[in-house]
Amino acid sequence: MMDYHPLPQPDQIETRIKEDAMGAYFMMFATMAMGIPLPILNLVAAIIYYYVNRDKGKFVQFHTLQSLYSQIPVTLLNSGLVAWTIVNLVKDLDFTGFYWGYLVMVAAANLVYFVFSLVGAIRARKGLFYYFLFFGKLAYYQVYRIRPEGGQSVMRNKPPGP
Amino acid sequence: MKLSIQHQESYSRGELLLRTFFGWLYILIPHGFLLMFVGLWGAILQFVAFWVILFTGRYPQSMFEFQVGLMKWNLRVSARMYNVSDGYPAFGVKSTDEYTDLDIPYPEKVSRGLMLLRLFFGIFYVYLPHMFILMFRAWFVGILTFLAWWVVLFTAKYPNFMFDWVTGQIRWQLRVSLYMMYMTDTYPPFTGDELAEEV
Amino acid sequence: MQKAILRDLLVLLGVFGLIWMLFSLFSYPEDPQLLSIQKEEVLGEAYVDLILLNPLFREYENSMVDSAVGVIGERLLEGLPDTEYSYHFEVFDSEMINAFTVPGGNILISTGLIGFCDTPEELAAVIAHEMGHVEERHVISRLIKELGIEILSSGDPYVIGEISSLLTSTSFDRRQEEEADSFAAELLEATSIEPRTLASFFRKLEKEMDNELLNQFAFISTHPNFYSRIRDALLYVPGDEFTTRSIDLNWEEIRAGL
C-alpha cells in the first residue's frame, strides 16, 4: 500500500503558487507565440517551464508535470503529421486513407488536449487539482508518493587493485 | 519605476579603451548570445501573460519578476556599452549589479480595457509619438557619448550633463517598454528625468 | 495505483487508435471500379475524336506508319491475352516527342516519337509503358479523383472538350509511373523483346535534353524522375529462358517516310 503526501487545499495555497501552476498549461501556446509552425517548440517550452518552476512546491510540480507529460504525445503526433505531409508532397505520393484517418485523429487529439489544458489552467488558478486521463495519475504518483528514506548511494571507497 | 545608474567619481580609462576596442568581443557576444535565448523565453512569457491578464486581470507575479530581471540584465550591458559604468556586467536574470539598479513595483491589478487599447492602438498613441522623439534624442546622445569618450579618456570623469542625457535615454525607453508590455498602467512621460518616485 | 495508470493508458491508446482506424476506412474509396470499362471506352472514343481535331494533334495519315504501329501493337497484345480493352493506336503529326493514353485503351503516338526511336523495339517499349497505364487504369482513376465521377459521366460536349484538353497534359505520380514501367518490362519480356529497352530510350531522351529546347520534350515534362527510372529499368533481369525475337519491320524506311 503506497503512502502519499497529503494534498493541500485551495485556501492553503498562495496566490502566487496558483498562478505558477496555471502558467504550465499555457506553454502549449509557445509555437503560436513564436509564429513558427514547429511542433517541438511547445514541448521545449513545457520542459523549460518545468525546470524553472521545479522548486516551487509539489502543487506547481504536479501541474507542470501533468502538462509536460500530456504535451509529449501531442508533439509526437503533430510532428508525425508534418513529416508525413512533407514527404508526400516532396515525393509526389498519394494521400491515402490512412493519412486522412491520421489527420483526423491528430486534430481530435489536439482539440482534446487544448480543452483539457484550459480546464486544468482554470482549476490550477483556483488551487484545485485536476486529473487528465492517465497523465493525472502519472503526475500524482511521481510527485506525491512518499519515497523511502535513505535513498543515498551506499557505495564505499576502496583502494585500487590487489 | 526607479532606474538608477551610479555616477562614478572617476572612471577607469583602461576599461574605457578595452571596451572601445574589444567590448564587442568580450561583452556583446557572450551577453548577446545568451540574451537571445532568454529573450525568446521572455517573448513566450509575454504572450502567455497577455492571455492570463485578459482572463484574470492580474499579471502573473513570477513572469513579472522574470521580465524585470531580463530588463535589469539588459540595463547592465547597456550601461557598459554607453561607458557610463565600469566593471563587467553579471549574467543571469536574478543577478544584481554594483553600479546599476532597477526597481519596478508589481502592479496588483492590470486594466484589461487599457491593455486592449494598447494592443490595437498602441502603435499610434504610444510608439509613434515617443519613438519619433527618441530617434532625435538618440542622435544627440550619440554625439554626447562620443564627446564624453574623450573627456573620460583625458580626465577620468563623466560630465554630469552628458551622463544625465544618457541615463535619461535609457530610462525613457524603458518606460515606454513597460507601458507597452502591460507592466504599468501609467502612460510614459515625455522626459528621461527621474520623476518624484524616489523610494 | 500503477495498475490504474496502465489501464488509463490503454484506454487512451485504444480510443485514439480507434478514431484513426475508423476514419481511415471511411475515407473516400480510391478504386475506379465505379466506371465500367465499356463506359470508359465510349468516353475514350469521344475524347480521341476531339483531340485529333486539335491542330497540335492532327491525325497522321500514312498507311506504312499505321501498319508498322499496328504490327508492334499486335506483337505486344500477344502478351496480354486476357485484356478487357480493345486497344486503338493513333498516330498524330507533331514534332514533339510524345505519347499519351486516353481512357478506353487509346494510345496516341506522335510522329516525333516514332522518328526518335532508332529501332521498333524502342517504340514497343514506350507503347508497352502506355499500355501499363491503361491496364492499371491510371488515367481514369486520376480523372475520377480530380474531377469526380459526376463530371466524368456527364455527356455534355463542353465538359468532354475540356477533359480531352486535360488528357494531353496529364502527368502521373511517381507510384503510377513505376507501376507502368514494371508492367512494360514484364510485357516486353513476355513478347520476347528485351525488357530493358525502356532504359535505353530514357537515356537517349535525357541526353537529348541537354542539346534541345525543353518545349520539344513534352514527354519529359510529364515524366519526371529520369535517373531512378533508368536505374530501375536496367535492374530488371529477364528469366533464364528468355530469348529475343526482333520485330520484323524495315524501320529505316518507315522513318524516312515521315
Residue C29's pLDDT is: 53
In angstroms, the Cα distances linking C232 to B168, C74, C180 are: 73, 26, 12
Across the interface, do A134 and C173 touch by the CB < 8 Å criterion? no
Q: Tell the residue number behind the cell numbers 502527368, with chain if given.
A: C171
Residue range A10-37: mean pLDDT, rounded: 89
**Residue-wise pLDDT tens digits, C81-128:** 888 888 999 888 888 888 888 888 899 998 888 888 888 888 999 999
Note the pLDDT of residue A38. 87
Question: By the 8 A CB rule, do A93 and C174 touch?
Answer: yes
Integer Cα distance of B76 and B86 in angstroms: 10
- Cβ contact C201:C99 at 8 Å: no
Q: What does the alpha-carbon distance between residue B191 and residue B189 come to, in Å, rounded to a whole number? A: 6
Chain A residues near residue C138 by CB distance under 8 angstroms = none
Each residue's pLDDT tens digit, B13-25: 999 999 999 999 9
- Taking contacts as CB-CB distances below 8 angstroms, the residues of chain A near C19 are 101, 104-105, 108
Residue C170 half-sphere exposure toward CB, CA atoms < 13 A: 27
Q: In this complex, do C24 and A97 lie within 8 Å of one another by their Cβ atoms?
A: yes
The pLDDT-based confidence of C219 (bands split at 50, 70, 90) is low
> Which B residues 149-168 touch A at CB under 8 Å?
none
Say what percent of chain C tops pLDDT 70: 90
* Domain ranges for chain B: 2-180
The alpha carbon of C248 is separated from its chain's Cα centroid by a whole number of angstroms, namely: 25
Distance CA C201, CA A126 (A): 74
Mutate to test the interface with A, among C11, C19, C170 (most CBs of A within 10 A): C19
pLDDT in tens, B60-118: 999 999 999 999 999 999 999 999 999 999 999 999 999 999 999 999 999 999 999 99
- Taking CA atoms, what residue in A is nearest to B49? A23
The answer to whether the Cβ–Cβ distance between A94 and C173 falls below 8 Å is: yes
Residues of A5-44 as b/e, b for ≥16 C-beta within 10 angstroms?
A: eeeeeeeebeeebbbbbbbbbbbbbbbebbeeebbebbbb
Which amino acid, C135? Answer: E
Taking the whole predicted model, whether its pTM rises above 0.80 is answered as no
Q: Report the number of secondary-structure helices (H) and strands (E) in chain A.
A: 6, 0
Which parts of C52-211 are beta strand (E)? 88-92, 99-102, 106-110
DSSP state of C176: H
Region C46-67: mean pLDDT is 84
Quick check: A133 contacting C, CB < 8 Å? yes
> What is the pairing mode between strands C88-92 and C106-110?
parallel
Residue corresponding to grid cell 480523372? C143
pLDDT mean over B186-196 = 89
Cell 519596478: give the residue. B104
Chain C residues within an 8 Å CB radius of A5: none
Are C185 and C198 a contacting pair, CB within 8 Å?
yes
Residue C171 has pLDDT above 80, yes or no: no
Q: Which residues does chain A have within 8 Å of residue B41's beta carbon, measured at their own beta carbons? A: 45, 48
Q: What is the pLDDT of residue A67?
A: 95
Per DSSP bridges, beta strands C106-110 and C99-102 are antiparallel
Q: Do the chains contact at C16 and A138, CB–CB below 8 Å?
A: no
* Partner-chain contact A93 C22, CB within 8 Å: no
Enter the DSSP assignment of B110.
-
Which ipTM did the prediction report?
A: 0.81
| Residues belonging to chain A | 162
Q: Write the DSSP symbol of residue B188.
A: P
- Per-residue pLDDT, averaged over A43-54, amounts to 92
Chain B contact set for A53 (CB, 8 A): 62
Side-chain-facing half-sphere of C43: CA atoms under 13 Å: 28
**Own/partner long-range contacts of B120-124 (Cβ < 8 Å, ≥24 apart):** B122/B180
Q: Residue B100 is inside which H or E element, if any?
A: strand B100-103
Residue A88 has φ and ψ, to the nearest 5°, of: -60, -40
- Is the pLDDT at B7 greater than 90, yes or no? yes
CA–CA gap between residue C51 and residue C100 (Å, rounded): 11
Averaged over A3-13, what is the pLDDT? 89
CB pairs under 8 A between A and C: 61
Residue window 168-227, chain C: list those with CB within 8 Å of chain A: 173-175, 224
Helix, strand, or coil here: C108? Answer: strand
Residue B39 CB partners (closer than 8 Å, separation 6+): B70
The alpha-carbon gap from A10 to the nearest alpha carbon of chain B, in Å, equals 17
Copy the grid coordinates of residue A161: 587493485
Report the alpha-carbon distance of residue B19 to residue B87 in Å, rounded.
10
Q: Which residues of B156-195 are buried (b: 16+ CB within 10 A; e: fewer)?
A: eebeeebbbbbbbbbbbbbbbebbbbbbbeeebeeebeee
3-state secondary structure of C89: strand
Report, as an integer, the average pLDDT of B158-187: 94
- Which residues, 6 or more positions from C74, have their beta carbon under 8 angstroms from its beta carbon? none
Under an 8 A CB cutoff, do C27 and A2 touch? no
Asked if A101 and C23 come within 8 Å (Cβ–Cβ), the reply is yes
pLDDT of residue C223: 59
Q: Are C51 and C169 in contact (CB under 8 A)?
A: no
Asked if B88 and B81 touch (Cβ cutoff 8 Å), the reply is no
Nearby residues of C247 by Cβ (< 8 Å), 6 or more positions away: C71, C72, C75, C120, C121, C124, C193
Touching check for A34 and chain B: CB below 8 Å? yes
Distance CA C144, CA C142 (A): 5
Other Cβ atoms within 10 Å of C173 Cβ, number: 16
Which of A53-57, B2-6, B126-130, C227-231 is predicted with the least confidence, judged by mean pLDDT?
C227-231
Tell me how long chain B is: 199
d(CA A4, CA C89): 82
Report how far residue C142's alpha carbon sits from residue C40's, in angstroms, rounded to the nearest whole number.
13
